[in-house]
Structure 1
Amino acid sequence: MCKRRYFMVHVIRLFGLCAILLIVVAVAPQPVVADSHVAFALDEQPGQHLDIRYGKRVVARYMTAFDPERWDETARPYLHVMDATGEKPITKGLGGLFPHHRGIFIGYSRLRVGDQTYNLWGMGSGAQVHQAFVDQQVGPDQARFTSLVHWQTKDGQPLLEERRTFVFRAVPAPELLNVEVRSELTAVAGNVTLDGDPEHAGVQYRAADELEKDATLYVFPTEDNDPRTDPDLAWSAMQYVLDGQTYAVVQMNHPSNPKQTIWSAYRDYGRFGAFPKAEIAEGQTVELQYRFWITTGPLPERQQIQARYEQYASTK
């Protein structure tokens, strides 16, 4: 009888303990599970732009319009980076100081083709015209597209054919964007020299014109780096303030890029980037590739940027 009573007491205690555990599990905070339905998407407005969306938010916008009647506005395609709401660019469009500076863009002020020289930085003697998207891929973690761009004279004569590829990867907040820019430039009208100077050539980023100039600062791999004289910096970074929000932009220089690259990274109005020179024989192609890592908030520590760079540099 005593054994039976002892057994019943333990059964009751066991059921009581299970009930308590069920209650605790029911009311305890549950871990947040990532939404497996969130993915990248590409939304084109033909003749205007291509939106890159992650879930419902526009993270970037590739501007594709070209109209000879709106030359200053449409003479080059470029990439806008959008703010955390997806509603407003944090990069520059038309107007403001140096109207030809636009978002993430590429150009050369001394583009020599044969015995002629053209300005396809300020776009005074030619245009870069988006022709078509020749590749588009989207998924939960990555999106990519390739824009076929003709570099041409004002009267439409071809100078270069470019395949400009963007690869976007999903990032956690407070990061805004992780995008690789790859430009394959093919000489189609004679031997080509990509030339200019660090202020007027290369692959560069221009912050929105309304930034607070006094708050702009730059950081390099070491304290004593001088972008004006030190070639082939692995990366350069800028911090700026726009509408009260601080943003950080890191541009990474892939080791496969042309050597003796000099950087322009000191202007308070928020334009910076790499200036690689190159020679392209007719029918041949040169590839330029960079990664832009953009976050809200102040710049990460140098060690963190360097670690990100080393990961990028290990890719092809």
Structure 2
Amino acid sequence: MKTRALPLVVLAALLAPVSVLRAAANEVKLTRSPDRVRVEIGGKLFTEYCFKDVPRPFLYPVLAADGTEMTRNYPMKKGVPGEVEDHPHHRSLWFTHGDVNGIDFWAEGSDKKGKIVSESVDASSQGGTGVVKARNKWVGPDGTVHLTDETTIRFHGTADARFIDYEVTLKAPAGKPVIFGDTKEGSMAIRLPLWMTPSHSQGRGKKHEGKGTIINAEGITNDATWGKKSTWVDYHAPKDGKVYGVAMFDHPKNPRHPTWWHVRTYALFAANPFGKHDFENLKNEPKAGEMTLPAGGSLTFRWRFYFHTGDEKAAKVAAQYAAYAAGK
């Protein structure tokens, strides 16, 4: 018995360091500072949750497992070679909406726009998962609070992938309902770098020759994905001999699941459950996608971002979505 047990003991001793190293490589560390929360996985920067003195909270930068930048730098960092400096309200990765009680919280740069103001931020991590819990108030130009939210963002990763689970619970004030207007300008969004895009017009007769691909769960690609309903969309492209991608998953319990997608070939990528008349070209029904949250009521949305290597097949995006839908 002893001679048989010895090899098992030796094997266990050899395997233990491997499991410890694997756990360390995926360990999530969150560091809070006055204006942001830094998220590291395996000792490497993944992203930062930026929340102070900004038009709305956002995640920037967002890096792949090997450090490749997966979102645009502008407007947080200007003058980056190869970047198109348009739509300054496209801040890396964020949640908002373009019509809340008639106020635009999507755009910025005007005193007529709304702002999402941070009230509190808590950060914690345990082993392979990091969690940011935030409370925000949606403030109109005159200082009126139209809405509050409780946002929970979970971070985890593997050797070659990164995940962000974004959950937001929207709460109406006790004495007034909240109306989410029907507009394409929303809602859970990410602005990708130019190198990820398919070929597309840049206006004024200019065209960008891109190598990227947009594809949804139904196999529809590129421009044709805009305004379609789908459980997931994947955006991927080659860079330096390797393919990188990001898929966004719409949770099956979300209102109006599967959602419509405000996804553009110039690198805007957003899930929008409110923009029905824009997406379905219902010109005579401008309020078709409007949603009213009763006074004192709440509404919860959930999405997952999956940052991967390979195209949607190599990254097994459909299987990853199935796991997410099953609660994994």
Question: % of aligned pairs identical?
Answer: 20
Counterpart residue number, 1:3: none
Deviation, 1:154, is 2.7
Distance 1:171 1:34 in 2: 14
Give the alignment's Cα RMSD to 1 decimal. Answer: 2.9
Counterpart residue number, 1:104: 93
Where do 1:1-316 residues align within 5 Å? 32-35=18-21, 36-37=23-24, 39-47=27-35, 49-66=36-53, 74-80=54-60, 81-84=62-65, 86=67, 89-95=69-75, 96-112=85-101, 117-123=102-108, 124=110, 125-133=113-121, 135-173=122-160, 175=161, 177-188=162-173, 190-198=176-184, 200-208=185-193, 214-224=210-220, 226-228=224-226, 230-231=228-229, 233-240=230-237, 246-259=243-256, 261-265=259-263, 267-277=264-274, 278-295=291-308, 297-301=309-313, 304-315=316-327
Deviation, 1:45, is 2.0
Q: Deviations over 1:239-263 (max 9, x none)?
A: 1456776420000010111116211
Deviation, 1:162, is 0.9
Unaligned runs of 5+ in 1: 1-20, 67-73
Specify whether residues 152 and 244 from structure 1 end up closer, same or farther in structure 2 by C-alpha distance, changes over 3 A only.
farther
Letter in 2 for 1:78: F
Preserved contact between residue 108 and residue 196 of structure 1 (Cα < 8 Å): no
Distance 1:244 1:120 in 2: 39
Distance 2:157 2:41 in 1: 8
Q: Deviations over 1:106-138 (max 9, x none)?
A: 1211112xxxx10000034111112211x4331
Unaligned runs of 5+ in 2: 1-6, 76-84, 199-209, 275-290
Distance 2:73 2:317 in 1: 28
Q: Deviations over 1:85-109 (max 9, x none)?
A: 55x7431344321110012211211
Deviation, 1:271, is 1.0
What TM-score does the superposition give when structure 2 sets the normalisation length?
0.73
**Larger-gyration structure (1/2):** 1
Distance 1:211 1:234 in 2: 21
Specify whether residues 303 and 210 from structure 1 end up closer, same or farther in structure 2 by C-alpha distance, changes over 3 A only.
closer
